[in-house]
Chains A and B, each alone.
Chain A
């Protein structure tokens, strides 16, 4: 195999359960004219090979910025990224030179975005753009790159790949374009794939297709998958673990099954009660009052306190840290998590 440009000397394909990503106390701030925006506060998490983690949050929660920080693509004049560590397979990414960091980006950790129409260059054919990954990073010839592109397009189930390799992005539907994005992201066989709202812009029937493709590809390569979304349903079937974010902070972290069955944080609980369902019908939607705060003015103490029905004085004064609570596998950032949980069950 040609030079990988990999950060570590480990074998390219990770073993299941191998620790791929360790993030410790990640924080991202944006220094703007209007003030300091604390986009991400002290976020810590791990990702193992073969694992799918869902980062769930609404707008302003900091979920996308977290992903950008891992990739190292947070725009750096206004943005300031600090972390105790961001370790990829043992190697701290922050210590790397920008050049090596760039090779990790795309080569080891790849990302796909929400809107495939704007992420793809409209003046180059799809095959050219996929092939570019091979030509630039692997030094392949045009012909070889084209063959590999067709292979990849077939792998993401684009019908008639050979015929369509010369087509342009606008000739594809939204769902197909997203598959092209996935193909591009996978071309260098990354160990981690970050998908930022990959299905939000797509119809529900197409959504299911894309999620299936992602899951299959992950299985083939023991890839780590980070799914960023606001849709509680889309990740229910694919996530192993869930991290819930609100106004830049992590509110809860738990295995998916436990989280969905009985979440601990009042925000999570409120979301579950307010999202209309197809199968388990709710009689009424219990809306969470209020709205997510502007990040220029995050409420002091627990950022969720103005909207929380259980809020006490302590919630307004002291920021709750993520901690374990008895009777629950996951961790919660709430001062009264036990009481709330007991009161409910």
Chain B
């Protein structure tokens, strides 16, 4: 049976089949089967093609590693490896504060004489933990509520949506500052508090987004088909709605991580987020703001690291959006 020079066509199976029927049902085709290509697989392949993705992935991996094992990054530094090991005076009596970057202190020292390089490296932990943690928390709340509102409609939808509207009406920064001040006074605040507050105020957008995709997915024929077969609501939600509605939420969440990191830095900068002795880029920038002319390195390094981290997530979000887009139908 001639294979008619068919290469790897995408939509040839019917013709192959027809030939097999028309001719003898002899041993099938020469051509072996093409690997199955799920939509996620296709998206991944699309993602890998984009150079933005690789840059973003590089940045994010770098800073995540920095957050997980800061020791590794600090190890090669000749200065002290403990960011809190600060000495205002060296043994020989000279002041160690606000030193310029040198071969001993790669990023110089800060006001207390701490090695700035170590502090900046350790600062990554707070940012990544809060960025990912807040998004995860907001995701949990937002996807659940948005999913319920979108899928069940009716009173659930009314209630949840109006609640979301109210939350939107509250100016975020004002509310965050208020709550953070109420929950824990300065000095008592830790990562947990900040995480909680940001998470609680961060879920409304995600829930609205997800609700919209759920409503869209719910209207598709294949959901009706699942109902016609007798599938339960739970099965429909998990197997049919969720995988098809999650894509925009993924894009948003990725970008949101970057946003949250910036917000944390802002809050800390304003003095309402983390406070000393926490190590946060925002705090460092706060301290550095009055000394931009005299000691620019105090602003430069945390500033650059912060920007690059946020950039990494934004770029990733962009790349993911492009990769998922045509598949979103």
CB-CB under 8 A for A297 and B15, given A289-B21, A289-B22: no
For residue B251, give the distance in angstroms from its CB to the closest CB of chain A.
22
* Residue of A296, A306, A307 with most chain B CB atoms under a 10 A cut-off: A306
- Whether the Cβ atoms of A293 and B5 lie closer than 8 Å is no
- Whether the Cβ atoms of B9 and A290 lie closer than 8 Å is no
- Whether the Cβ atoms of A294 and B4 lie closer than 8 Å is no
Does B169 sit within 8 A of A, measured CB to CB? no
Does B33 sit within 8 A of A, measured CB to CB? no
* A interface majority secondary structure: loop
Does A291 sit within 8 A of B, measured CB to CB? yes
For A299, the closest partner residue in chain B by CB is: B4
Does B10 sit within 8 A of A, measured CB to CB? yes
- Whether the Cβ atoms of A293 and B11 lie closer than 8 Å is yes
- Whether the Cβ atoms of B10 and A294 lie closer than 8 Å is yes
The interface residues of chain B lying within 8 Å CB-to-CB of A157 are none
Does B18 sit within 8 A of A, measured CB to CB? yes
The interface residues of chain A lying within 8 Å CB-to-CB of B18 are 289-290, 306-307
**Alpha-carbon separation in the docked complex, A305 to B18 (Å):** 12
**Alpha-carbon separation in the docked complex, A291 to B11 (Å):** 9
Interface size on B, residues (CB 8 A): 15
- Whether the Cβ atoms of B10 and A296 lie closer than 8 Å is yes
281-322 of chain A: CB within 8 A of chain B: 289-291, 293-294, 296-297, 299-300, 305-307, 316
B interface list, Cβ under 8 A from A: 2, 4-7, 9-12, 14-15, 18-19, 21-22
The interface residues of chain B lying within 8 Å CB-to-CB of A297 are 6-7, 9-12
Give me 15 A-to-B residue pairs in the complex whose CB atoms sit less than 8 angstroms apart, sorted by A's number: A289-B22, A291-B11, A291-B15, A293-B12, A293-B15, A294-B10, A296-B9, A297-B7, A297-B9, A297-B12, A300-B4, A306-B4, A306-B15, A306-B18, A316-B5
**Alpha-carbon separation in the docked complex, A294 to B10 (Å):** 8
The interface residues of chain A lying within 8 Å CB-to-CB of B4 are 299-300, 305-306, 316
**Alpha-carbon separation in the docked complex, A289 to B22 (Å):** 9
**Alpha-carbon separation in the docked complex, A204 to B18 (Å):** 33
Besides the known contacts A291-B11, A300-B4, 11 further A-B residue pairs in the complex with CB atoms under 8 A apart:
A289-B18, A291-B14, A293-B9, A293-B12, A293-B15, A296-B10, A297-B10, A299-B5, A305-B4, A306-B15, A307-B18
